[in-house]
């Protein structure tokens, strides 16, 4: 889009109630806002002209008073085996975010971002190398899903099954926009994805974990622990100084109590740092006390970090060391896909400024 059109309010990301409050819908039947939401989120309409069950006069009024901008897929890169596709999604102000589509035994998972950059400075994460973070709007979060859903259709993939907020940024630091997006991801009209298929990953923002537990949707929660002592976690994840992980555990217990859903403890294994048998036993004790799950994550090296990965045998030895302490705890290993294209867990840092030619606009 060019000229004054850019100044028009963007309606992508608005729910039915917010759409109903728009000036052009004044005096219209109540169902009109629902029709528009259906076009935006179910059918993926990018223009008002596509909304053929709206009166032509209304479509023209909408066109003059607001715009539809969900971002634009600027470029994609795929692994050789097609198991991961990383996308750069351009936003209308020149920012960009990355999203990753992961394919695993017929299961399609989309990893999306909630911020450009991240302020939490986790020492092992590539996103922390980016400039100061900025929040995405609900529409910019949803736009990643819409653009990648179209990309999946172009590649003849099956329907999107799972969404994980594990891309760039800390989701709970952008709480208002993330929860607004969740209502449309799970809602009708909306993307219609069941809440149980959505996972929010957090570094441990305790007040927001408790707030999320009180929301009407029951998404899954993953806590990035990554250390079993405060001293180590302070070094790896400075957020631990404000929210010590044992305090976070209290919030996780409340989340599990209210949602009747087990939290997952994410544990990134770093060679010679947090991979001792003592770490394994402590982690098992935490999981047993919380009655939660554990996801062991193989570290994915990148240019911004000097950490080394634990090899397969070391990961398995760590898992075996946990077993006697917590035999009933479910422990899985996440072998991240997409490392060869810097699309695996902890590697997203490629958001780059978008040129004027690449900016979202009329198709």
Tokens representing 197 are: 């298929």
* DSSP per position, 256-280: HHHH----EEEEEEBTTTS-SHHHH
Euclidean distance between CA atoms 204 and 101, whole angstroms: 25
Q: Are 205 and 243 in contact (CB under 8 A)?
A: yes
Tokens representing 93 are: 């102000």
Entry field: residues in the chain? 363
For residue 86, the Cα-to-chain-centroid distance in whole angstroms is 14
Q: Are 300 and 339 in contact (CB under 8 A)?
A: yes
**Residue indicated by tokens 């607001």:** 66
Euclidean distance between CA atoms 339 and 300, whole angstroms: 6
Catalytic residues: 98, 345
Tokens representing 212 are: 């999320």
Euclidean distance between CA atoms 256 and 37, whole angstroms: 32
Residue 127 burial (CB count, 10 A): 27
- Can the peptide bond before residue 175 be classed as cis, meaning omega within 30 degrees of 0? no
């Amino acid at each position: 889009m060019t000229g004054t059109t850019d100044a028009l309010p963007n309606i992508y990301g608005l729910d039915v109630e917010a759409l109903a409050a728009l000036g052009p819908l004044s005096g219209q039947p109540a169902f009109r806002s629902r029709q528009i939401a259906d076009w935006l989120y179910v059918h993926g309409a990018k223009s008002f002209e596509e909304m053929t069950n709206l009166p032509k006069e209304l479509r023209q009024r909408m066109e003059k008073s607001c715009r539809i901008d969900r971002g634009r897929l600027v470029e994609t890169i795929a692994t050789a085996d097609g198991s991961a596709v990383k996308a750069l999604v351009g936003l209308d102000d020149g920012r960009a975010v990355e999203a990753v589509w992961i394919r695993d035994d017929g299961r399609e998972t989309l990893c999306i971002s909630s911020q450009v950059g991240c302020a939490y400075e986790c020492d092992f994460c590539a996103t922390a190398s980016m400039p100061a973070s900025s929040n995405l709007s609900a529409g910019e979060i949803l736009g990643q899903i819409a653009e990648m859903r179209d990309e999946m259709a172009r590649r003849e993939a099956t329907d999107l099954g799972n969404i994980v907020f594990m891309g760039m940024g800390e989701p709970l630091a952008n709480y208002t926009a993330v929860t607004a997006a969740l209502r449309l991801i799970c809602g009708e009209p909306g993307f219609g994805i069941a809440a149980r298929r959505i996972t929010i990953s957090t570094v441990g923002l305790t007040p927001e974990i408790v707030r999320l537990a009180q929301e009407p949707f029951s998404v899954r929660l993953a806590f990035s622990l990554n250390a079993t002592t405060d001293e180590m976690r302070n070094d790896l994840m400075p957020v631990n100084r404000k929210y010590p992980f044992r305090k976070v555990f209290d919030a996780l217990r409340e989340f599990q109590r209210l949602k009747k859903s087990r939290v997952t403890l994410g544990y990134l294994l770093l060679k010679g740092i947090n991979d001792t048998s003592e770490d394994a036993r402590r982690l098992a004790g935490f999981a047993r006390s919380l009655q939660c799950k554990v996801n062991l994550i193989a570290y994915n090296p990148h240019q911004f970090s000097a950490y080394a990965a634990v090899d397969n045998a070391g990961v398995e030895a760590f898992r075996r060391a946990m077993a006697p302490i917590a035999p009933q705890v479910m422990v899985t290993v996440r072998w991240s896909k997409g490392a060869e294209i810097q699309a695996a867990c902890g590697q997203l840092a490629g958001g780059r400024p978008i040129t004027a030619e690449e900016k979202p606009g009329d198709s």
